Structure 1
Amino acid sequence: MNPIEKLMTEHQNILRGLDLLERAAAQLERGDQVSPAFFNGMVDFIREYADKYHHAKEESILFVRMSEVGFSPEMGPVAVMLHEHIKGRGYVSELAKAGEKYAAGDRTAIPDIVKNAMAYAELLRAHIHKEDMILYPMAENALGEIGISLMRPDFDNVEHEKAGVEEKYVNMLDKLEREMIGTAS
């Protein structure tokens, strides 16, 4: 699997997380009970897997390589992706704050959980679509097969430094999906 294919596979895991996040937010909005631990787990998944594992590869490897062949990090498609990563981090920060209040028994935090969870999911779904359908094909075209394959050692280094991250969070998604199915009426 080449580095672009790896990023697209990671997108599928992130989309699974977004499905769960949206379902839980909708349950809260309906007045159903959702464990505060769920939201803590999702914030952890987003920060550690989507951001520090996946986005880090894009930002420190792919986008750097793209800038070397003329894609500016200050304007154009790479700049848009970087801006969306930053915007997403803002939603996650607010979701984490609201989740802490909710965990402390403050039900007035529910609207903030719902708002930030849904906004983040909407942003990331569109973001992933743009990357998979537009940015990654641009990268493949601009970098070529050799340029893409030259990223592999850098990707391997990230995977080595963060050994076990993907397995941990895929297992967490599996567990949360089973729990979510178990609570569906």
Structure 2
Amino acid sequence: MTKSSDTFKGPTTASPLPVPLQALQAEHQLILRVLHYLDAPIEDFATNAQHHVPIIRAYLDFSQHYTDRFHHAKEEEVLFSYFDSRESIITAMQADHVLGRKWIHTATEALIVGDHQTVAMCLRSYRNMLTQHIQTEHAQLFPWIFHRLTHAQIEEIGMRFAAIDTHFQNEKKHFEDWANRLANPDALTR
């Protein structure tokens, strides 16, 4: 049974979110930075696809591996497991993850068959949804979680996140390096 003294009282300006939630926020920043760098290729894709196919293909790979298998695994398999799955905020976040997977899958299939209009439409929808999703997590989900977890639970979450980081260590580094190279498009061809 959790003692009330073990429960966090919520973030204040003097008390930032705990380290595991800060780690998720840092991953969000990387994801948002990648989305920002892909704004132009996504908008131009339907009319100038051949020029952008390599970056779009790399982005789909990033989204499937870094965003979904790595980052969303932390949220779905670890963080959300501490709460009733019927909580409206949890179901909304999971529904966004499912919708995002559908858009990325559809964009991937459309890229294979050369349906550039569908690729562009799916990626625009995904970008818009994911941007709003991350804003909702920062403004609503993380404070909501913060108010409900004990110190012991946060420590356990931190250890479980570390295990995921270790498991995905090579993939994580690969995609972080790729995302950092987006700032210099010439470096992407190296």
**TM tier relative to shorter chain:** 0.7 to 0.9
Q: Does 1:63 align with 2:69?
A: no
Change (3 A) 1:32 1:46: closer
User: Deviation at 1:75?
Assistant: 4.1
Matched, 1:132 2:138: yes
Greater RCO, 1 or 2 (C-alpha within 8 Å, sep 6+): 2
Which is richer in helix?
1
Q: CA deviation at 1:16?
A: 1.4
Structure 1 residues 63-91: Cα deviation after superposition (integer angstroms, max 9, x where no partner): 001x1xxxx31341001000100000000
Q: Which amino acid aligns with 1:76?
A: S
2:121 corresponds to which residue? 115
Residue in 1 that maps onto 2:183: 177
Query: Which consecutive aligned stretches of 4+ in structure 1 deviate over 6 angstroms post-superposition?
Result: none
TM-score, normalised via structure 2 length:
0.82
Q: 1:27–1:33: 8 Å Cα contact kept in structure 2?
A: no
Partner of 1:77: 89
Unaligned runs of 5+ in 2: 1-17
CA RMSD in angstroms comes to 2.0
Q: C-alpha offsets along residues 117-170 of structure 1, whole Å, 9 cap, x if unaligned? A: 100000100000010111011111110444222211111111111112322112
Q: Which residue identity lines up with residue 109 of structure 2 in the other structure? A: K
Percent identity, aligned pairs only, is: 23
Would the aligned equivalents of 1:3 and 1:152 in 2 still touch at CA under 8 Å?
yes
Aligned partners of 1:145 and 1:21: how far apart in 2? 39
Shift of the alpha carbon at 1:29? 4.0
- Give 1:95 deviation, angstroms: 0.9
* d(CA) in 2 for partners of 1:131, 1:101: 35
Query: Match of 2:107, as an amino acid?
Result: L
Cα distance between partner residues in 1 of 2:123 and 2:184: 20
- The count of aligned residue pairs is 171
Which residue number corresponds to residue 110 of structure 2? Answer: 98
Q: Which residue in the other structure is 1:49 paired with?
A: 66
For residues 53 and 47 of structure 2, what CA distance do their matches in structure 1 show?
16
The one-letter amino acid paired with 1:152 is G
- Counterpart in 1 of 2:13? none
> Cα offset for 1:171?
1.1
- Secondary structure, aligned partner of 1:74: coil
TM-score, with length taken from structure 1: 0.84
